[in-house]
Amino acid sequence: MMPRGGAQARAEQLATLDKLAHEMFVAPEIGRLIDELVPYGETLDYDSDDAALIRRSARDYEKAHRVPPELSAEITRQGAIAYEAWVDARQASDFGKFLPYLQKNVELKQRYVDCFERADETYDVLLDDFEEGMKTAEVREVFDQLKAELLPFIAEIQEHQDAVDDSFLHGNFPPDKQREFSLEIIRRFGFTDDQWRLDPTVHPFASGTCPTDIRLTTRYAEDNLESIFSSMHEFGHGCYEHQVDRALDRTPLCSGASLGLHESQSRMWENLVGRSLPFWRYFFPRIQDAFPELGSVELETWYKAVNKVQPSLIRVDADEVTYNFHVILRFELEQDIIDDAIDLADLPELWDAKMKEYLGIDVPDEARGVLQDVHWSFGGLGYFPTYSLGNVISVQIWERALEEMPDLYDQFEQGEFTPLREWLRHHLHRYGRKYTPRETLEKAAGSSLDAGPYIRYLTDKMSEVYGIGAPV
Ligand code: ZN
Protein backbone atom coordinates (compact mmCIF):
# COMPACT_ATOMS: atom_id res chain seq x y z
CA MET A 1 0.00 0.00 0.00
CA MET A 2 3.04 2.28 0.32
CA PRO A 3 3.56 4.88 -2.43
CA ARG A 4 6.79 4.30 -4.40
CA GLY A 5 8.28 7.51 -3.03
CA GLY A 6 8.41 5.97 0.44
CA ALA A 7 10.87 3.26 -0.58
CA GLN A 8 14.16 4.94 0.31
CA ALA A 9 12.93 6.08 3.73
CA ARG A 10 11.50 2.64 4.38
CA ALA A 11 14.86 1.05 3.50
CA GLU A 12 16.54 3.21 6.14
CA GLN A 13 13.84 2.49 8.74
CA LEU A 14 14.06 -1.25 8.18
CA ALA A 15 17.85 -1.17 8.38
CA THR A 16 17.71 0.76 11.67
CA LEU A 17 15.13 -1.60 13.18
CA ASP A 18 17.08 -4.61 11.99
CA LYS A 19 20.31 -3.29 13.46
CA LEU A 20 18.70 -2.48 16.83
CA ALA A 21 16.96 -5.85 17.09
CA HIS A 22 20.12 -7.64 16.08
CA GLU A 23 22.27 -5.70 18.57
CA MET A 24 19.85 -6.43 21.39
CA PHE A 25 19.75 -10.12 20.62
CA VAL A 26 23.52 -10.60 20.29
CA ALA A 27 24.34 -8.49 23.38
CA PRO A 28 26.89 -10.22 25.66
CA GLU A 29 24.29 -10.32 28.43
CA ILE A 30 22.01 -12.51 26.32
CA GLY A 31 25.00 -14.77 25.63
CA ARG A 32 25.71 -15.06 29.37
CA LEU A 33 22.07 -15.84 30.15
CA ILE A 34 21.95 -18.52 27.47
CA ASP A 35 25.23 -20.03 28.67
CA GLU A 36 23.73 -20.29 32.14
CA LEU A 37 20.46 -21.75 30.91
CA VAL A 38 21.81 -24.42 28.57
CA PRO A 39 22.96 -26.85 31.32
CA TYR A 40 19.64 -26.27 33.13
CA GLY A 41 17.71 -26.97 29.93
CA GLU A 42 19.49 -30.30 29.61
CA THR A 43 18.05 -31.39 32.96
CA LEU A 44 14.49 -30.79 31.71
CA ASP A 45 12.25 -33.10 29.75
CA TYR A 46 13.37 -32.79 26.11
CA ASP A 47 9.77 -32.17 24.98
CA SER A 48 8.98 -29.46 27.51
CA ASP A 49 8.42 -25.94 26.21
CA ASP A 50 11.16 -24.53 28.43
CA ALA A 51 13.74 -27.04 27.23
CA ALA A 52 12.82 -26.26 23.63
CA LEU A 53 12.91 -22.52 24.26
CA ILE A 54 16.44 -22.71 25.65
CA ARG A 55 17.66 -25.11 22.97
CA ARG A 56 16.26 -23.12 20.08
CA SER A 57 17.26 -19.72 21.44
CA ALA A 58 20.82 -20.94 22.01
CA ARG A 59 20.94 -22.03 18.41
CA ASP A 60 19.49 -18.74 17.11
CA TYR A 61 21.99 -16.83 19.23
CA GLU A 62 24.90 -18.94 18.03
CA LYS A 63 24.05 -18.05 14.43
CA ALA A 64 23.14 -14.41 14.99
CA HIS A 65 26.14 -13.41 17.06
CA ARG A 66 28.50 -14.34 14.24
CA VAL A 67 27.05 -11.62 12.01
CA PRO A 68 28.13 -8.03 12.76
CA PRO A 69 25.06 -5.77 13.24
CA GLU A 70 26.43 -3.41 10.55
CA LEU A 71 26.45 -6.22 7.99
CA SER A 72 22.98 -7.35 8.98
CA ALA A 73 21.70 -3.77 8.61
CA GLU A 74 23.47 -3.32 5.28
CA ILE A 75 21.90 -6.49 3.87
CA THR A 76 18.45 -5.26 4.88
CA ARG A 77 19.07 -1.73 3.54
CA GLN A 78 20.47 -2.87 0.20
CA GLY A 79 17.64 -5.36 -0.12
CA ALA A 80 15.01 -2.66 0.16
CA ILE A 81 16.84 -0.47 -2.38
CA ALA A 82 17.45 -3.34 -4.80
CA TYR A 83 13.77 -4.25 -4.61
CA GLU A 84 12.82 -0.94 -6.21
CA ALA A 85 15.53 -1.39 -8.86
CA TRP A 86 14.16 -4.87 -9.58
CA VAL A 87 10.61 -3.51 -10.00
CA ASP A 88 11.91 -0.98 -12.56
CA ALA A 89 14.13 -3.49 -14.33
CA ARG A 90 11.33 -6.00 -14.62
CA GLN A 91 8.99 -3.37 -15.96
CA ALA A 92 11.57 -2.40 -18.59
CA SER A 93 12.49 -6.06 -19.10
CA ASP A 94 16.13 -5.00 -18.77
CA PHE A 95 18.38 -7.17 -16.61
CA GLY A 96 21.23 -4.68 -17.04
CA LYS A 97 19.32 -2.22 -14.84
CA PHE A 98 19.20 -4.73 -12.01
CA LEU A 99 22.71 -6.17 -12.43
CA PRO A 100 24.68 -3.68 -10.26
CA TYR A 101 22.19 -4.19 -7.40
CA LEU A 102 22.38 -7.94 -7.73
CA GLN A 103 26.18 -7.75 -7.68
CA LYS A 104 26.00 -5.78 -4.44
CA ASN A 105 23.54 -8.25 -2.91
CA VAL A 106 25.72 -11.21 -3.84
CA GLU A 107 28.82 -9.53 -2.47
CA LEU A 108 27.01 -8.93 0.86
CA LYS A 109 25.81 -12.54 0.92
CA GLN A 110 29.36 -13.73 0.38
CA ARG A 111 30.49 -11.61 3.33
CA TYR A 112 27.63 -13.14 5.29
CA VAL A 113 28.73 -16.68 4.39
CA ASP A 114 32.26 -15.81 5.58
CA CYS A 115 30.87 -15.20 9.08
CA PHE A 116 30.29 -18.94 9.45
CA GLU A 117 32.56 -21.94 9.65
CA ARG A 118 33.32 -23.57 6.34
CA ALA A 119 30.49 -25.87 5.34
CA ASP A 120 30.70 -28.82 2.94
CA GLU A 121 29.37 -26.46 0.28
CA THR A 122 29.04 -22.67 0.40
CA TYR A 123 25.36 -22.97 -0.42
CA ASP A 124 24.76 -24.93 2.81
CA VAL A 125 25.09 -21.69 4.79
CA LEU A 126 22.41 -19.95 2.72
CA LEU A 127 20.07 -22.93 2.79
CA ASP A 128 20.37 -23.17 6.57
CA ASP A 129 18.68 -19.77 6.98
CA PHE A 130 15.48 -21.10 5.44
CA GLU A 131 15.70 -24.84 6.03
CA GLU A 132 17.77 -25.33 9.15
CA GLY A 133 20.10 -28.31 9.05
CA MET A 134 19.41 -29.18 5.41
CA LYS A 135 22.49 -29.83 3.26
CA THR A 136 22.83 -28.87 -0.38
CA ALA A 137 23.79 -32.47 -1.13
CA GLU A 138 20.49 -33.74 0.34
CA VAL A 139 18.49 -31.32 -1.77
CA ARG A 140 20.48 -32.28 -4.85
CA GLU A 141 19.68 -35.93 -4.25
CA VAL A 142 15.94 -35.22 -4.04
CA PHE A 143 16.05 -32.96 -7.09
CA ASP A 144 18.04 -35.50 -9.11
CA GLN A 145 15.29 -38.00 -8.36
CA LEU A 146 12.62 -35.53 -9.52
CA LYS A 147 14.59 -34.94 -12.72
CA ALA A 148 15.04 -38.62 -13.43
CA GLU A 149 11.38 -39.53 -12.85
CA LEU A 150 9.45 -36.44 -13.88
CA LEU A 151 11.23 -35.12 -16.98
CA PRO A 152 10.38 -38.20 -19.08
CA PHE A 153 6.88 -38.12 -17.61
CA ILE A 154 6.34 -34.50 -18.68
CA ALA A 155 7.53 -35.44 -22.17
CA GLU A 156 5.00 -38.27 -22.27
CA ILE A 157 2.18 -35.98 -21.13
CA GLN A 158 3.01 -33.57 -23.94
CA GLU A 159 1.90 -36.21 -26.39
CA HIS A 160 -1.51 -36.48 -24.73
CA GLN A 161 -2.43 -32.82 -24.35
CA ASP A 162 -5.63 -33.37 -26.34
CA ALA A 163 -6.98 -35.32 -23.37
CA VAL A 164 -7.38 -32.16 -21.33
CA ASP A 165 -9.50 -29.18 -22.33
CA ASP A 166 -9.05 -26.13 -20.12
CA SER A 167 -10.43 -23.48 -22.47
CA PHE A 168 -13.24 -22.62 -20.02
CA LEU A 169 -10.69 -21.58 -17.37
CA HIS A 170 -10.23 -18.42 -19.41
CA GLY A 171 -13.29 -16.24 -19.46
CA ASN A 172 -14.81 -13.32 -17.69
CA PHE A 173 -14.91 -13.85 -13.93
CA PRO A 174 -15.84 -10.74 -11.89
CA PRO A 175 -13.29 -10.25 -9.07
CA ASP A 176 -15.96 -9.68 -6.41
CA LYS A 177 -17.44 -13.10 -7.23
CA GLN A 178 -13.96 -14.63 -7.07
CA ARG A 179 -13.43 -13.13 -3.64
CA GLU A 180 -16.80 -14.37 -2.43
CA PHE A 181 -16.13 -17.88 -3.67
CA SER A 182 -12.58 -17.95 -2.28
CA LEU A 183 -13.97 -16.93 1.09
CA GLU A 184 -16.65 -19.63 0.93
CA ILE A 185 -13.90 -22.24 0.49
CA ILE A 186 -11.48 -21.02 3.12
CA ARG A 187 -14.30 -20.47 5.61
CA ARG A 188 -15.06 -24.15 5.31
CA PHE A 189 -11.33 -24.80 5.86
CA GLY A 190 -11.31 -22.75 9.07
CA PHE A 191 -11.03 -19.03 8.23
CA THR A 192 -13.02 -16.92 10.69
CA ASP A 193 -13.79 -13.22 10.41
CA ASP A 194 -12.66 -12.36 13.91
CA GLN A 195 -9.08 -13.65 13.51
CA TRP A 196 -8.36 -13.64 9.78
CA ARG A 197 -8.37 -11.21 6.82
CA LEU A 198 -8.25 -11.66 3.07
CA ASP A 199 -7.04 -8.68 1.03
CA PRO A 200 -5.99 -8.05 -2.59
CA THR A 201 -2.30 -7.70 -3.56
CA VAL A 202 0.13 -7.89 -6.50
CA HIS A 203 2.02 -10.92 -5.20
CA PRO A 204 0.01 -13.20 -2.85
CA PHE A 205 1.42 -13.91 0.61
CA ALA A 206 0.33 -14.67 4.17
CA SER A 207 1.51 -12.81 7.20
CA GLY A 208 0.47 -12.45 10.78
CA THR A 209 1.71 -11.03 14.02
CA CYS A 210 0.24 -13.75 16.24
CA PRO A 211 -2.03 -16.81 16.00
CA THR A 212 -5.15 -14.67 16.39
CA ASP A 213 -4.25 -12.17 13.64
CA ILE A 214 -3.74 -13.98 10.34
CA ARG A 215 -3.66 -11.91 7.15
CA LEU A 216 -3.93 -13.51 3.73
CA THR A 217 -3.59 -11.77 0.42
CA THR A 218 -4.51 -12.91 -3.05
CA ARG A 219 -4.78 -11.39 -6.52
CA TYR A 220 -7.74 -11.38 -8.86
CA ALA A 221 -7.40 -11.51 -12.64
CA GLU A 222 -10.71 -11.05 -14.42
CA ASP A 223 -9.89 -13.59 -17.09
CA ASN A 224 -9.00 -16.56 -14.88
CA LEU A 225 -9.74 -18.22 -11.52
CA GLU A 226 -6.19 -18.54 -10.15
CA SER A 227 -7.19 -16.44 -7.14
CA ILE A 228 -9.15 -19.38 -5.77
CA PHE A 229 -6.09 -21.61 -5.69
CA SER A 230 -3.83 -18.90 -4.38
CA SER A 231 -6.34 -18.22 -1.57
CA MET A 232 -6.26 -21.89 -0.59
CA HIS A 233 -2.45 -21.79 -0.76
CA GLU A 234 -2.20 -18.80 1.54
CA PHE A 235 -4.80 -20.33 3.87
CA GLY A 236 -2.38 -23.24 4.32
CA HIS A 237 0.36 -20.86 5.47
CA GLY A 238 -2.04 -18.97 7.71
CA CYS A 239 -3.46 -22.13 9.25
CA TYR A 240 0.02 -23.29 10.31
CA GLU A 241 0.64 -20.01 12.16
CA HIS A 242 -2.91 -19.95 13.52
CA GLN A 243 -2.66 -23.40 15.12
CA VAL A 244 0.66 -23.06 16.93
CA ASP A 245 0.14 -23.96 20.59
CA ARG A 246 -0.99 -20.85 22.47
CA ALA A 247 1.51 -21.67 25.23
CA LEU A 248 4.22 -20.60 22.75
CA ASP A 249 2.65 -17.15 22.21
CA ARG A 250 5.13 -14.29 22.39
CA THR A 251 8.14 -16.60 22.35
CA PRO A 252 10.63 -17.20 19.49
CA LEU A 253 8.94 -20.58 19.04
CA CYS A 254 5.61 -19.16 17.90
CA SER A 255 5.87 -19.78 14.14
CA GLY A 256 6.43 -22.53 11.58
CA ALA A 257 9.51 -24.77 11.86
CA SER A 258 10.96 -24.00 8.41
CA LEU A 259 9.99 -22.68 5.00
CA GLY A 260 9.82 -26.20 3.58
CA LEU A 261 7.38 -27.29 6.27
CA HIS A 262 5.42 -24.09 5.79
CA GLU A 263 5.18 -24.65 2.06
CA SER A 264 4.11 -28.23 2.68
CA GLN A 265 1.01 -26.80 4.34
CA SER A 266 0.15 -24.29 1.63
CA ARG A 267 0.66 -26.87 -1.10
CA MET A 268 -1.42 -29.40 0.81
CA TRP A 269 -4.51 -27.18 0.92
CA GLU A 270 -3.95 -25.85 -2.59
CA ASN A 271 -3.16 -29.12 -4.37
CA LEU A 272 -3.80 -32.24 -2.31
CA VAL A 273 -7.13 -30.86 -1.11
CA GLY A 274 -8.00 -28.13 -3.65
CA ARG A 275 -7.18 -30.06 -6.82
CA SER A 276 -8.69 -33.35 -5.71
CA LEU A 277 -11.83 -34.80 -7.23
CA PRO A 278 -13.68 -35.26 -3.91
CA PHE A 279 -13.11 -31.59 -3.08
CA TRP A 280 -14.69 -30.57 -6.38
CA ARG A 281 -17.58 -33.00 -5.96
CA TYR A 282 -18.62 -30.69 -3.16
CA PHE A 283 -17.55 -27.33 -4.59
CA PHE A 284 -18.16 -27.70 -8.32
CA PRO A 285 -21.94 -27.11 -8.20
CA ARG A 286 -21.19 -24.09 -6.04
CA ILE A 287 -18.63 -22.60 -8.41
CA GLN A 288 -21.12 -23.15 -11.23
CA ASP A 289 -23.65 -21.12 -9.24
CA ALA A 290 -21.10 -18.35 -8.78
CA PHE A 291 -20.02 -18.35 -12.44
CA PRO A 292 -22.94 -19.45 -14.63
CA GLU A 293 -20.68 -19.68 -17.71
CA LEU A 294 -19.26 -22.88 -16.17
CA GLY A 295 -22.77 -24.35 -16.19
CA SER A 296 -22.19 -26.59 -19.19
CA VAL A 297 -18.85 -27.98 -18.00
CA GLU A 298 -18.77 -31.55 -16.62
CA LEU A 299 -17.19 -32.19 -13.22
CA GLU A 300 -14.64 -34.63 -14.68
CA THR A 301 -13.66 -32.15 -17.37
CA TRP A 302 -13.22 -29.45 -14.75
CA TYR A 303 -11.11 -31.74 -12.56
CA LYS A 304 -8.80 -32.51 -15.47
CA ALA A 305 -8.53 -28.85 -16.45
CA VAL A 306 -7.41 -27.68 -13.01
CA ASN A 307 -4.74 -30.39 -13.07
CA LYS A 308 -3.43 -29.69 -16.56
CA VAL A 309 0.34 -30.07 -16.95
CA GLN A 310 1.80 -27.56 -19.37
CA PRO A 311 5.39 -26.26 -19.43
CA SER A 312 5.24 -22.48 -19.09
CA LEU A 313 7.41 -19.44 -18.43
CA ILE A 314 6.39 -18.24 -15.00
CA ARG A 315 7.11 -20.18 -11.80
CA VAL A 316 4.16 -18.90 -9.80
CA ASP A 317 1.72 -19.88 -12.57
CA ALA A 318 3.22 -23.33 -13.12
CA ASP A 319 1.30 -26.57 -12.66
CA GLU A 320 2.13 -29.10 -9.96
CA VAL A 321 4.58 -31.11 -12.06
CA THR A 322 6.57 -28.54 -14.04
CA TYR A 323 6.76 -26.23 -11.01
CA ASN A 324 9.67 -28.20 -9.63
CA PHE A 325 11.83 -27.49 -12.66
CA HIS A 326 11.47 -23.76 -12.18
CA VAL A 327 12.86 -24.35 -8.71
CA ILE A 328 15.62 -26.74 -9.75
CA LEU A 329 16.83 -24.24 -12.35
CA ARG A 330 17.13 -21.53 -9.69
CA PHE A 331 18.77 -23.90 -7.18
CA GLU A 332 21.46 -24.77 -9.72
CA LEU A 333 22.10 -21.16 -10.75
CA GLU A 334 22.24 -19.94 -7.15
CA GLN A 335 25.03 -22.35 -6.27
CA ASP A 336 27.10 -20.97 -9.13
CA ILE A 337 26.23 -17.41 -8.13
CA ILE A 338 27.40 -17.71 -4.53
CA ASP A 339 30.49 -19.66 -5.59
CA ASP A 340 31.44 -16.96 -8.14
CA ALA A 341 31.45 -19.72 -10.72
CA ILE A 342 29.62 -17.56 -13.27
CA ASP A 343 29.66 -13.98 -14.40
CA LEU A 344 26.39 -12.44 -13.21
CA ALA A 345 26.04 -10.62 -16.52
CA ASP A 346 25.58 -14.04 -18.16
CA LEU A 347 22.58 -14.96 -15.98
CA PRO A 348 19.86 -14.23 -18.57
CA GLU A 349 21.57 -16.49 -21.08
CA LEU A 350 22.16 -19.28 -18.54
CA TRP A 351 18.55 -18.99 -17.39
CA ASP A 352 17.17 -19.30 -20.89
CA ALA A 353 19.37 -22.32 -21.63
CA LYS A 354 18.05 -24.18 -18.58
CA MET A 355 14.43 -23.33 -19.43
CA LYS A 356 15.05 -24.85 -22.81
CA GLU A 357 16.78 -27.91 -21.37
CA TYR A 358 14.18 -28.73 -18.68
CA LEU A 359 10.91 -27.45 -20.08
CA GLY A 360 11.64 -27.03 -23.79
CA ILE A 361 10.61 -23.40 -23.62
CA ASP A 362 12.04 -20.33 -25.36
CA VAL A 363 12.14 -17.29 -23.10
CA PRO A 364 10.92 -14.25 -25.05
CA ASP A 365 12.21 -11.52 -22.74
CA GLU A 366 14.02 -10.94 -19.44
CA ALA A 367 10.86 -9.87 -17.59
CA ARG A 368 9.42 -13.33 -18.10
CA GLY A 369 12.80 -14.95 -17.59
CA VAL A 370 15.54 -14.10 -15.14
CA LEU A 371 13.73 -11.04 -13.74
CA GLN A 372 10.41 -12.68 -12.86
CA ASP A 373 11.00 -13.37 -9.16
CA VAL A 374 11.49 -10.94 -6.30
CA HIS A 375 13.84 -13.16 -4.23
CA TRP A 376 17.22 -12.07 -5.55
CA SER A 377 16.30 -8.44 -5.00
CA PHE A 378 16.29 -8.92 -1.24
CA GLY A 379 19.29 -11.25 -1.33
CA GLY A 380 17.12 -14.30 -0.61
CA LEU A 381 19.51 -16.84 -2.09
CA GLY A 382 18.82 -20.29 -0.65
CA TYR A 383 15.07 -19.71 -0.47
CA PHE A 384 13.87 -21.33 -3.71
CA PRO A 385 14.62 -25.00 -2.92
CA THR A 386 12.18 -24.84 0.01
CA TYR A 387 9.27 -24.57 -2.45
CA SER A 388 9.95 -27.98 -3.93
CA LEU A 389 10.93 -29.46 -0.58
CA GLY A 390 7.48 -28.31 0.53
CA ASN A 391 5.88 -30.27 -2.31
CA VAL A 392 7.80 -33.38 -1.36
CA ILE A 393 7.02 -33.03 2.35
CA SER A 394 3.34 -32.28 1.74
CA VAL A 395 2.73 -35.74 0.31
CA GLN A 396 4.75 -37.48 3.04
CA ILE A 397 2.47 -35.88 5.64
CA TRP A 398 -0.61 -36.47 3.48
CA GLU A 399 0.01 -40.21 3.23
CA ARG A 400 0.22 -40.45 7.01
CA ALA A 401 -3.00 -38.44 7.43
CA LEU A 402 -4.80 -40.71 4.94
CA GLU A 403 -3.53 -43.78 6.72
CA GLU A 404 -4.94 -42.55 10.01
CA MET A 405 -8.14 -41.13 8.49
CA PRO A 406 -9.12 -43.40 5.60
CA ASP A 407 -12.43 -41.53 5.14
CA LEU A 408 -10.78 -38.17 4.54
CA TYR A 409 -11.91 -37.95 0.92
CA ASP A 410 -15.48 -38.87 1.89
CA GLN A 411 -15.43 -35.96 4.28
CA PHE A 412 -14.23 -33.58 1.55
CA GLU A 413 -17.17 -34.65 -0.58
CA GLN A 414 -19.41 -33.47 2.25
CA GLY A 415 -17.54 -30.17 2.51
CA GLU A 416 -16.03 -31.27 5.81
CA PHE A 417 -12.40 -30.27 6.43
CA THR A 418 -12.25 -29.94 10.21
CA PRO A 419 -10.82 -33.43 10.85
CA LEU A 420 -7.89 -32.74 8.49
CA ARG A 421 -7.25 -29.34 10.05
CA GLU A 422 -7.36 -30.79 13.56
CA TRP A 423 -5.09 -33.67 12.57
CA LEU A 424 -2.57 -31.15 11.24
CA ARG A 425 -2.85 -29.14 14.42
CA HIS A 426 -2.08 -32.18 16.49
CA HIS A 427 0.72 -33.69 14.39
CA LEU A 428 2.45 -30.55 13.15
CA HIS A 429 1.12 -27.04 13.77
CA ARG A 430 0.99 -27.02 17.55
CA TYR A 431 4.75 -27.60 17.83
CA GLY A 432 5.62 -24.30 16.17
CA ARG A 433 9.41 -23.99 16.21
CA LYS A 434 9.92 -26.21 19.24
CA TYR A 435 11.84 -28.78 17.24
CA THR A 436 14.30 -28.68 14.36
CA PRO A 437 12.72 -29.05 10.92
CA ARG A 438 14.09 -32.59 10.78
CA GLU A 439 12.52 -33.52 14.14
CA THR A 440 9.29 -31.79 13.16
CA LEU A 441 9.02 -33.69 9.88
CA GLU A 442 9.64 -36.95 11.71
CA LYS A 443 6.79 -36.13 14.12
CA ALA A 444 4.36 -35.11 11.37
CA ALA A 445 5.13 -37.67 8.67
CA GLY A 446 6.74 -40.42 10.71
CA SER A 447 9.60 -40.48 8.20
CA SER A 448 12.57 -38.43 7.02
CA LEU A 449 12.76 -36.53 3.73
CA ASP A 450 11.76 -38.85 0.89
CA ALA A 451 10.80 -37.90 -2.68
CA GLY A 452 9.16 -41.28 -3.32
CA PRO A 453 5.58 -40.52 -2.14
CA TYR A 454 5.50 -37.21 -4.03
CA ILE A 455 6.67 -38.74 -7.30
CA ARG A 456 4.15 -41.58 -6.95
CA TYR A 457 1.35 -39.14 -6.19
CA LEU A 458 2.11 -36.98 -9.23
CA THR A 459 2.54 -39.82 -11.69
CA ASP A 460 -0.57 -41.65 -10.44
CA LYS A 461 -2.77 -38.57 -10.52
CA MET A 462 -1.58 -37.24 -13.87
CA SER A 463 -1.67 -40.67 -15.48
CA GLU A 464 -5.33 -40.78 -14.50
CA VAL A 465 -5.97 -37.23 -15.72
CA TYR A 466 -4.26 -37.90 -19.06
CA GLY A 467 -5.57 -41.43 -19.41
CA ILE A 468 -2.12 -42.94 -19.74
CA GLY A 469 -0.75 -46.02 -18.01
CA ALA A 470 1.19 -45.18 -14.86
CA PRO A 471 4.91 -45.79 -15.36
CA VAL A 472 6.24 -48.87 -13.58
ZN1 ZN B 1 3.73 -20.53 -0.25
What pLDDT, on a 0 to 100 scale, did the predictor assign at position 471?
A: 55
Q: Going residue by residue through the chain (472 aa), what tens digit of pLDDT does each one get? A: 788 888 889 888 988 998 899 999 999 999 999 999 999 999 999 999 999 999 999 999 999 999 998 998 899 899 989 999 999 999 999 999 999 999 999 999 999 999 999 889 999 999 999 999 999 999 999 999 999 999 999 999 999 999 999 999 999 999 999 999 999 999 999 999 999 999 998 778 999 889 999 999 999 999 999 999 999 999 999 999 999 999 999 999 999 999 999 999 999 999 999 999 999 999 999 999 999 999 999 999 999 999 999 999 999 889 999 999 999 999 999 999 999 999 999 999 999 999 999 999 999 999 999 999 999 999 999 999 999 999 999 999 999 999 999 999 999 999 999 999 999 999 999 999 999 999 999 999 999 999 999 999 999 999 999 999 755 4
Q: Rounded CA gap, 458 and 437, in Å? A: 24
- Comparing CA positions, the residue from 232, 323, 279 lying closest to residue 412 is 279
What pLDDT, on a 0 to 100 scale, did the predictor assign at position 470?
A: 59
Q: What share of the chain is helix, strand, coil (3-state, %, to 5)?
A: 65, 5, 30
Q: Rounded CA gap, 387 and 243, in Å? A: 21
How many Cα neighbours within 13 Å face the side chain of 90?
Answer: 16
| DSSP per-residue letters across 382-441 | T-THHHHHHHHHHHHHHHHHHHH-TTHHHHHHTT--HHHHHHHHHHTGGGTTSS-HHHHH
Q: How far is the CA of 194 from the centre of ligand 1 (A)?
A: 23
Q: How far is the CA of 252 from the centre of ligand 1 (A)?
A: 21
Instruction: Identify the active-site residue in 74, 131, 234, 263.
Output: 234
**Which run of H or E residues covers position 216?**
strand 213-218
Q: Rounded CA gap, 127 and 380, in Å? A: 10
State the pTM of this model: 0.95
Residue 323 burial by Cβ neighbours in a 10 Å radius (0-12, 13-18, 19+) = buried
User: What's the chain's length in residues?
Assistant: 472
Q: How far is the CA of 237 from the centre of ligand 1 (A)?
A: 7
Query: Does 234 qualify as catalytic in the annotation?
Result: yes
Residue 164 burial by Cβ neighbours in a 10 Å radius (0-12, 13-18, 19+) = buried
Q: How far is the CA of 337 from the centre of ligand 1 (A)?
A: 24
Cβ proximity of 424 and 430 under 8 Å: no
Cβ proximity of 286 and 181 under 8 Å: yes
